[in-house]
Amino acid sequence: MDIELLQGDITTRDVDAIVNAANSSLLGGGGVDGAIHRAAGGQLLEACRALRQTDYPEGLPVGQAVATDAFNLPARWVIHTVGPNALAGQTDPELLRQAFANSLAVAERIGAATIAFPAISAGVYGWDADDVARTAVQAVGNHPGTCLERVEFVLFSDRVARAFQAAFEELRG
């Protein structure tokens, strides 16, 4: 499985699945969540509302992941996950690892061969970019799946891109 680090807007990535750093409501927000909903169009919100009326009446718990169609995006699916919010005291790295690992597991289940991640929790949710990068790269490095051929991390700032580059080089040894 190839891992690639890119800088740019995740909504433009032509991969099988892009991961959305959502919140538990699944009803949109700012940051990458807002960008994905804007680019996907209103049907994405409708699909998320349907999830709230069926599988997730209480909302998507932190660390869990669920896929929807991607509608107007180049990708085929959006995998919504909720990272831990450091500003709400959610500082357990296990929760962040679960967000990455469960997104990978959902990708395997739906048969995605390529997936793009943002830096989950490194924005509004206030996690240190170095901690997010290490957790992300380790989660991918430990992923036992067989369907995924390529994992992209699509970073939106130089600072976060540098953090991921450093974590990636540390993993490579």
Q: Is 84 in the site for ligand APR (CB under 6 A)?
A: no
Q: Is 152 in the site for ligand APR (CB under 6 A)?
A: no
CB of 113 to ligand APR, least distance (A): 21
Residue 89 DSSP one-character state:
T
- For ligand APR, which is the closer residue by CB, 5 or 124? 124
- For ligand APR, which is the closer residue by CB, 10 or 48? 10
Pick from 104, 91, 100, 140: nearest CA to 120: 100
Q: Is 85 helix (H, G, I), strand (E, B) or coil?
A: coil
Q: Where do runs of H (alpha helix) occur along the chain?
A: 31-40, 42-53, 93-110, 129-141, 158-172
Angle at 55 between CA 13 and CA 26, to 5 degrees: 45
33 classed as catalytic = yes
Q: Which of 15, 32, 96, 151 binds ligand APR (CB under 6 A)?
A: 32
Q: Which of 65, 106, 154, 163 binds ligand APR (CB under 6 A)?
A: 154
Q: Is 145 in the site for ligand APR (CB under 6 A)?
A: no
Pick from 106, 131, 100, 111: nearest CA to 3: 100
Q: Is 121 in the site for ligand APR (CB under 6 A)?
A: yes
Residue 170 to residue 164: CA distance in whole angstroms: 10
Q: Which of 33, 55, 92, 131 is catalytic?
A: 33
Question: Where along the sequence are the contacts to ligand APR (CB under 6 A)?
Answer: 9-11, 21-23, 29-35, 83, 118-125, 154, 156-157, 160
Catalytic residues: 33
